[in-house]
Amino acid sequence: MQFDYRIPSGYETCGAAVESPMKMNGLPMSVYAPETVGCVVVDREGRCAAATSTGGLMNKMIGRIGDSPLIGAGTYACNLAGVSCTGEGEAIIRGTLAREVSAVMEYKGLGLQEAVDFVIKNRLDEGYAGLIAVSSKGEVAYGFNCNGMFRGCASEDGFMEVGIWE
Ligand code: ASP
């Protein structure tokens, strides 16, 4: 039998009175540890950086590393783009999601949002996940194959935006 680490074991007896109806990546919010923060930035010289902090998924196997610290999977930055992912780490790792965004920009000549859309559509197999990205040209993009993804954006001219749904 394969243990599904995404489903809290004994959840119904853990004393939580009411389950929140909110879902992220198709899973109840309670499955996620609370610390997930991904950040991508680009400076005025076009230098991109990415960072991802996560508590992983609730009930994860002992020793599970997840995608967030794996450069190229959950986090990646190069001279073209910076990318940070969230969602089911196993699917993100299988698709080397973060690296793929800059790879298709480099090899297919796609723009940032096109590259994000391509990767979300073609490189995620059965998993639910999303990502945020910036390009060295200062573009901002995001994508996900699930109901919603908490995100925000700020630029030096004072523009600010937050979103959950598409
Ligand atoms: N990607 C993380 C993991 O699978 C979860 C998250 O922070 O979105 O460990």
With a CB cutoff of 8 Å and minimum separation 6, the contacts of 40 are 48, 49, 50, 51, 77, 82, 83, 84, 132, 133, 134
What 8-state DSSP symbol labels residue 80?
A: S
The gap from C-alpha 120 to its chain's centroid, in whole angstroms, comes to 10
Closest atom of ligand 1 relative to the 87 alpha carbon = 8
**21 vs 1, higher pLDDT:** 21
**Digit-coded pLDDT (tens) for 65-114:** 999 999 999 999 999 999 999 999 999 999 999 999 999 999 999 999 99
Question: Ligand 1 pocket, 68 CB below 6 A?
Answer: yes
Q: With 0-12 CB in 10 A as exposed, 13-18 as middle and 19+ as buried, what is 18?
A: exposed
Domains of the chain by start residue, with CATH: 1-32 (no CATH), 34-163 (3.60.20.30)
Question: Could you tell me the pTM of the whole model?
Answer: 0.83
